[in-house]
Amino acid sequence: MKPTLFVLAAGMGSRYGGLKQLDGLGPNGETIMDYSIFDAIRSGFGKIVFVIRRDFEADFREKILSKYENHIPVEVVFQGLDCLPDGFNCPETREKPWGTNHAVLMGKSAIKEPFAVINADDFYGRNTFEVMAKELMRERCDEGDYCMVGFKVGNTMSEGGTVARGVCDVKNGFLSTVVERTAIGYNKKNEIVFPDENGNIQKLNPATLVSMNMWGFTPDYFDYSEAYFKEFLDENIDNPKAEYFIPSVVNRMITSGAATVKVLETSSRWFGVTYASDRSGVVARLAELHESGEYPDRMF
């Protein structure tokens, strides 16, 4: 069975200054998503599902989906503030969606096969999709048999400001814990640091593995996510900034014994556009990849 690629494309793009999912960064106006979809197709993925906001559906269908429809089956699902379980109502103070794992939940109706989750605005590279597709296509006997691709945090930083990463602890090739850190950046000594839960500044070794939201799941993940989301809402529904992150669910499943997460290695190097100042460097890197023959002049 061919796996599905689930693309998280509902982000506001506030730090970047616009809808970066639609920004043409390649030499022929390619978006970062174009590279992910191209790499996914040639790695063996069989379907693409996008989660977006309804308010830019028309632009998305015209500028993005129209390119892919003759190459691979595509579907769209929507993330909104009011997409909550029965018995819960969105507070008026809430202004942004409920986080990455809330976005993943939106795919339940469209995904019935093993699937990979990626961010729309991250460049993961061909080899990353190859190792993920191979892992998702192997035969599985149990639920909770998941995987992720780990990247060295030193290779995922932005000079423009802080970044959010899932900081991983890996033992014997499997994820032991993953903790979402939302303000990883450089200090004056050019060290990588972040504030912990108590506000104390902690250092990170540049070789520390982090999640760039490239996860491999099977459909049972939706059921666990729904159950945990209700508990999350019971505790956080009145907190306008609380977010339901993928690492929090994965970590809980590992701790409870409900899941194992194999950490996959890749020869690819990640890059992305967190801030507007990141744009020029990404444009240059993509141009180099086309010049080297890694990508054709026209991918779609």
The H or E element containing residue 180 is: strand 174-186
The pLDDT of residue 12? 45
Q: For residue 152, what are the β-bridge partners?
A: 209
Candidates 3.40.1400.10, 3.90.550.10, 3.20.20.70, 3.30.70.100; CATH matching 4-291: 3.90.550.10
Tell me what the pLDDT averaged over the chain comes to.
Answer: 90
Sign of CA dihedral 251, 122, 67, 264: negative
The pLDDT of residue 166? 86
Cα–Cα distance, 78 to 57 (Å, whole number): 9
What's the half-sphere exposure (Cβ side, CA atoms, 13 Å) at 161?
Answer: 10
The pLDDT of residue 130? 97
DSSP state of 51: E
- DSSP 3-state of 185: strand
The pLDDT of residue 22? 72
Phi, then psi, of 245 in degrees rounded to 5? -90, 150
DSSP state of 258: S
The pLDDT of residue 21? 64
Spatial CA neighbour of 124 closest among 266, 292, 8, 21: 266
Q: How confident is the model over 45-54, as a mean pLDDT?
A: 94
The pLDDT of residue 273? 82
Q: What are the sequence ranges of the domains in the chain? A: 4-291
Query: pLDDT tens digit string along 97-129?
Result: 899 999 999 999 999 999 999 998 899 999 999
Is residue 141's pLDDT more than 90? no
Is residue 16's pLDDT more than 60? no
Q: How confident is the model at residue 11 (pLDDT cuts 50, 70, 90)?
A: low
The pLDDT of residue 237? 93
**Angle, vertex CA 143, rays to CA 137 and CA 145, nearest 5:** 55
Cα–Cα distance, 48 to 65 (Å, whole number): 10
CA distances from 194 to 161, 205, 270 (A): 12, 11, 20
Query: pLDDT tens digit string along 206-224?
Result: 999 998 889 999 999 999 9
Is residue 145's pLDDT more than 90? yes
Residue type at 56 in one-letter notation: F
The pLDDT of residue 58? 85
Cα–Cα distance, 30 to 13 (Å, whole number): 18
Q: How confident is the model at residue 17 (pLDDT cuts 50, 70, 90)?
A: very low
Of all residues in the chain, what percent carry a pLDDT higher than 70?
96
Alpha-helical regions (H) of the chain = 32-43, 57-60, 66-68, 100-105, 126-136, 220-236, 246-256, 279-291
Is residue 37's pLDDT more than 50? yes
Is residue 174's pLDDT more than 50? yes
